[in-house]
Structure 1
Amino acid sequence: MIIVDDSGIIKLVNARTETLFGYRREELLDRPVELLMPHRFRGGYAAANRQVRPMGAGLDLHGLRRDGTKFPVEISLSPLETTDGLLASAAVRDLSDLPQSRLRSTTGRRCGRRLVRPDPAGRRAGRRAHR
C-alpha cells in the first residue's frame, strides 16, 4: 500500500511496498511516486479522480524496483479525503508469479471488454465493446 498526496508525493508506505520495490521506508517518504514507475509511465499522475478504480486500464503496467528491474503489476487506486486535502491510496499487486496465460487474462480483464462512457446527465452508461 502506498499513500500519496495530490501532487504525487509519497506520504506513507507499508512493509510489503518496501519488500516489493527494494527500498527502505525512509528512501520513499516525501519522494515522487514516479520513482516506482518505468520512464514510459511517468508524467501522468493525477489524484483528481475521486473514484476507486484500477489504474492504467488497457495497459500492461510495470513497477520499477530499486535495482532497475521492471515487474508486471496491477494497481487499484482509492481516494482518501483528509483534513489536509485529497490523498490517494494505491494497492499494488505483483503479477510476476502468474503463468503467462493467466497474466494475459488479467491484462484482458483490465482492458475491459466493457466500455464505460458518461451519458449527458453525467451518469455512467456501459456498452459492450466490439472486437
Structure 2
Amino acid sequence: MQNSLLNTHVTTIDGEATTLEKYAGKVLLIVNVASRCGLTSQYEQLENIHKAWADRGFVVLGFPCNQFMGQEPGSEEEIKTYCANTWGVTFPMFSKIDVNGEARHPLYQKLIAAAQRQSRRTRAVFTNEW
C-alpha cells in the first residue's frame, strides 16, 4: 500500500503535478479540508501538529474538497491565500479533489480501500475466540 500511495499523482495548490514520493519514510496525516466549514479553525490545530512533529518526520497534507455542502468554493489561489493569511498554514496543500463518488481522486480510492482492509483485519482479531 505504501508504495502505491506514494506513486499517486497529485497536484499542488500551485498547480504543479507531482506524486507523494518525496514523503517516503514520513508519517502522513492526509486531510480533506474546507475553508467555509464550521470546523475551519482546525487549520490552526493542523498547523500546530505539523510544526510540533515535523522534526520527527510527521507531515500534514491538506486536500481541499467542495463536496460537503459547497464549503470550499474558492479557487486554489483563494484557498492558499486564505489558509496562509488567516491560519498561518505552512503544511503542504494540494488542489481541490473529490473524496466521494465516481470522480473520487485515486488517492482517496487507495486510502479508503486500505482502511476497509484494516477494518476487516481488526474485526477478525477481536471477534475470533482465543
Q: Do they superpose with TM above 0.5? A: no
Judging by fraction of residues, say which structure has more strand: 1
